A and B are shown apart, each in its own frame.
Chain A
Amino acid sequence: MSHDPLPVTTDDLLEALELFLREEVTPQMQGYGEFRTRVALNILGMLRREQQNSGDHSQDLSNLARSLRDDETNWQDQQALQEIKAANLDRLRINNPKWILEN
């Protein structure tokens, strides 16, 4: 027996919330309220990207962080730099993909 998929997915619900905020709430807001509504829309964007990506896949770099602190390695370590860049990009792709520059 195949189970029925949810008729309205989490993605759909997040989209509905985003549409409601954008189309119905934003036009009624001004000043400080408008600013905070825009913040709320940014949060929904993050949640939708996180949802589509099924969570945060970035590597745990806490050991590397400790080595850098304890001077066991430093900023000149190219491999460390590459790992840190990759983890940073993974997180930015969810939090704010527009921050990533082309070159």
Chain B
Amino acid sequence: MGSQDFTDLLTAAVRKRRGNNARVSDVTRLTAGASCESWRFDLSDENPAKSLPMILRRFPAKSEAGKDVYFADRLAPGRSHEVDILKAVGTAGLPVPVVQLELAPDDGLGDGYVMNCLDGAAYPPGILKDDKFAKAREQLPSDIATFRHQLNSVDLSNIGFAQDETARDQIDFFREMLDWLDLQHAGLELGLSWLRDHLPKPGPVRLVHGDYRLSNFMITPKGLNAVIDWELAHPGDPVEDLGWLCVRSWRFSKPQLAVAGLTDRRSLLAAWEQAGGETIVLRDLIFWEVLGNVKWAILCLLQGHRYLSGTDKSIEMAVVGRRVEEPVYDLIRLIDGKDGELS
């Protein structure tokens, strides 16, 4: 689809709901997200000088079939419920974008929705380095722990999730997926063997964001402004989000600071308690960090599979398929006691 055609379709979709004075301009595709497209544009009604920045999230028509759909849906359970999730989280009083319009089939743009574009940068290298974020970096561990704790109050009943994804569910699922890909990977089996022997005690099931890391946080110089990208959300153990936050792949220029390149694990657990959370033992946090590494490896494998099967012949799918060994390296270090602050 040419970019003019795209702008025309988007304009028509907006005018259908907001009247013929609505104007769409400066439509740009954002880098993030390969399975889902994000576009930024300006929307104005009467007065073009008073335009508001908007984001379109669009899920191109599914070219997957059969088993591919099952595995993609299990890994990204939030994908088909994003609008309901944003509404439920917003209703609980947490800062998330507000849905402005939902696409319909006759808009010709696939599945998707438009939301307001909130202030802040979701650009980890800058957040971890630039002077203007120095204060935010101090504030973030507390903001991140507080947001995660408040997520516990979100009502799951208005979101149509098909199933819970507890630790045990996910371990079984990863094995199912490796079998489907006919892959015998000793490093991943080592991780799964360790996980099965270190399962935390199950607690109440809550909304889990599922991709809780700097790239999905809108951050201003004051701290966390909003949390975006709920594609991987599911009902599960809230500690999963904190463990995922520690996976080294999201530490960017600061691999020695386990929590998103911001601070160490014990400080995160202290911030969690400060926010009102029940005590989490470090070993359970590490459990979810190891599981996060296995999950990231599985997501890499799925993207490689999407390239190999012809579902998506883009260059980033091919190359992510080769990144599997990074999280495997990191989970071996955790199992081996080389990382994890346990000693």
Q: Name A residues whose Cβ lies closer than 8 Å to a Cβ of B.
A: 31-32, 35-36, 39-40, 42-43, 46, 61-66, 68-69, 71, 74-75, 80-81, 83-85, 87-89, 91-92, 95-96, 99-101, 103
Chain A: CB-nearest residue to B338 = A103
A95 and B190 in contact, given A32-B31, A88-B328 (Cβ under 8 angstroms): no
B16 surroundings in chain A (CB, below 8 A): none
Complex CA distance for A101 and B339, rounded to whole angstroms: 11
A95 surroundings in chain B (CB, below 8 A): 322-323, 325-326
B173 within 8 A of A: no
Give the Cβ gap from B230 to chain A, nearest Cβ, in Å.
Answer: 22
B255 surroundings in chain A (CB, below 8 A): 101
Q: Name B residues whose Cβ lies closer than 8 Å to a Cβ of A.
A: 28-31, 175, 184-194, 197, 255, 315-316, 318-319, 322-323, 325-326, 328-329, 332-333, 335-336, 338
Say whether A31 contacts B31, CB under 8 Å.
yes
B189 surroundings in chain A (CB, below 8 A): 64-65, 68-69
Could you list some 11 contacts between A and B, CB below 8 A?
Answer: A31-B29, A31-B31, A36-B315, A36-B316, A43-B319, A61-B184, A65-B188, A81-B336, A83-B186, A84-B187, A88-B187
Give the Cβ gap from A96 to chain B, nearest Cβ, in Å.
Answer: 6
A88 surroundings in chain B (CB, below 8 A): 187, 325, 328-329, 332
- The residue in A81, A96, A99 that gathers the most chain B C-beta atoms within 10 A of its C-beta is A99
Complex CA distance for A87 and B188, rounded to whole angstroms: 12
Complex CA distance for A68 and B332, rounded to whole angstroms: 15
B197 surroundings in chain A (CB, below 8 A): 74-75
7 shortest interchain CB distances as A-B pairs:
A68-B189, A62-B184, A65-B184, A61-B186, A75-B194, A65-B186, A64-B186
Please pick, from A32, A39, A64, A85, the residue contacting B29 in the complex, using a CB distance under 8 A: A32
Say whether A96 contacts B326, CB under 8 Å.
yes
B28 surroundings in chain A (CB, below 8 A): 31
- The residue in A65, A74, A75, A95 that gathers the most chain B C-beta atoms within 10 A of its C-beta is A75
- The residue in A61, A65, A96 that gathers the most chain B C-beta atoms within 10 A of its C-beta is A65
